[in-house]
Amino acid sequence: MKKFSMKTIAAIVVGAALFLLLGKISIPTPVSNTYVSLQYAVQAVFATLFGPVAGCLIGLIGHTLIDVTGGGPWWSWIIASACVGLIIGVATWKTDLRSGLESGKLIRFNIAQAAAHLIAWGVIAPCLDIVIYAEPVEKLFAQGLMAAGANILTTAVVGTLLLVVYAQAIAKKAPQDEER
């Protein structure tokens, strides 16, 4: 079994904490119990930088903490959040931002995050809601598609901006590292 580096463990802790904090700040949508928030943008960036296991654990821990502090865990959506991080992490596994952030890397990131959200919220969460909670089908797919759309949009805007800022920070730091 591969051990996590301290950097990855720190990323999981910080990522889950940010997921919790950003998940508490949300805007309701016209679909009941569905919100626009920014935690998935941060999760997507962390999954891209630290891999699928970190992305998965950030979603799992962060969403569990949101639910536990807000009334009780809703396991179908917690599992879907974990899947978002896992899928994005796998799809962006070898993205090296130290060599720059060309448009191809941003396109790959955004295709990965859109696919992850569509799979998680359009398929996984509704199907698990049916199996675990026997929820009404019409409501579930409306919630899932609204969540997918909101998360795709916020991750595309905020996640892309975060990656650009991160890549620029690495580019500025790299020449200093070479001088030492």
The confidence band for 99, taking pLDDT boundaries of 50, 70 and 90, is: confident
Q: Cβ atoms within 10 A of the Cβ of 160, count?
A: 18
Q: Where are the domains of the chain?
A: 6-24+34-179
User: What is the maximum alpha-carbon separation in the chain?
Assistant: 62
What is the amino acid identity at position 59? G
Region 32-56: mean pLDDT is: 96
Tens digit of pLDDT for each residue in 52-71?
999 999 999 999 999 999 88
Q: Please enumerate in sequence order all residues whose Cβ is within 8 A of that of 159, keeping only pairs 6 or more positions apart, or say none.
A: 40, 41, 42, 44, 45, 109, 110, 113
CB-CB neighbours of 72 under 10 Å: 8
Give the Cα separation of 147 and 59 in Å (integer): 15
Q: What is the CATH number of domain 6-24+34-179?
A: 1.10.1760.20
pLDDT at 39 over 70: yes
Query: How far is it, in rounded angstroms, from Cα 167 to Cα 129?
Result: 38
What's the whole-number average pLDDT of the chain?
93
